[in-house]
Amino acid sequence: MKLQTTIPLSKADNPIDYQSSMLLLGSCFVENMGEKLDYFKFQQLQNPFGILFHPLAIENLIVRSIENQNYKEKEVFEQHGRWYCFDAHSDKSSGTKTELVQSLNDALEETRRQLMQTTHLIITLGTAWVYRNIDTEKTVANCHKVPQKNFTKELLSVQEIRESLEKICNTVQSINPKTQLVFTISPVRHLKDGFIENQRSKANLITAVHDLLSSNAKSSISYFESYEIMMDELRDYRFYGKDMVHPNELAVDYIWEKFKAIWISEDSHDTMNQVEVVQKGLSHRPFNPDSDEYLKFKKSLQTKITYLQERYPFMKFG
């Protein structure tokens, strides 16, 4: 008896391995995938500006970093004793104006360096709803709890999203033509916008991405079906967290296994298993840390770490 429909997935033509260098940008779901890649010690940088929910915010980061458009003090503001920038997440706020501007420009430079060498750019789009600052008439990445009266709320059209995605692709490939771009739609439900509004948003994102794919013959632009897997294969509230909005750990693990199956090179799976053995060993807490048995365990674990680091010098274990 078949109790589940499954999303058909195709093996990637340009899979990720331990020589790959990745940049992950977008919603909180991209950080779920980033945590997995970090756990298995792949080379990656994720969200240097913090979580970015919509395509215009991601486009802004990429364009400013590549074009060296550094931030000025007039582009940040103070609220409740902290300094913020409308282009970055609240996690990137600072205690002083100078500190924030320097931090933003450091992140731009870090993004630029990564884009110039990245083999895979993974972008997760969370929403098509954006807030526009009434004073500047610019869309913001984050409102930072500034009163709602200072913004208008808009739903990006399919055409606006597609144009933004095209700008992202063209800008990135202008400095690194070999970059593989992987788009995905976040399975996180943005219910604060409303149930119907969330569906309208996801529909526009999905349509725009697939318009881009269908009009672009390049194999360097791909799509991973994280949203579809969550909505179809995992269509049960037991796969959501207590907020009924975010995928829970079980769902994230399930989607990660799907991603691994089609996007991680099979040649890398053995190394991933070795890394996992080390990671589990490092998290082990002994009853008696002075016992001969545990000392042998530590020595064996260090041998495994040394072996991996000799093959992959970039690997760092805590």
Per-residue pLDDT tens digits for 128-144: 999 999 999 999 999 99
Q: Note the pTM of the prediction, 2 decimals.
A: 0.95
Which residue is associated with the tokens 């933003």? 104
Would you say residue 276 has pLDDT above 80? yes
- pLDDT at res. 219: 83
- pLDDT at res. 66: 98
Provide the 10 A C-beta neighbour count for residue 100.
24
**If pLDDT is split at 50, 70 and 90, which confidence band does 318 have?**
confident
Residue 53 to residue 123: CA distance in whole angstroms: 10
Contact between 235 and 227 (Cβ < 8 Å): no
Contact between 177 and 118 (Cβ < 8 Å): no
User: What is the average pLDDT across 40-49?
Assistant: 98
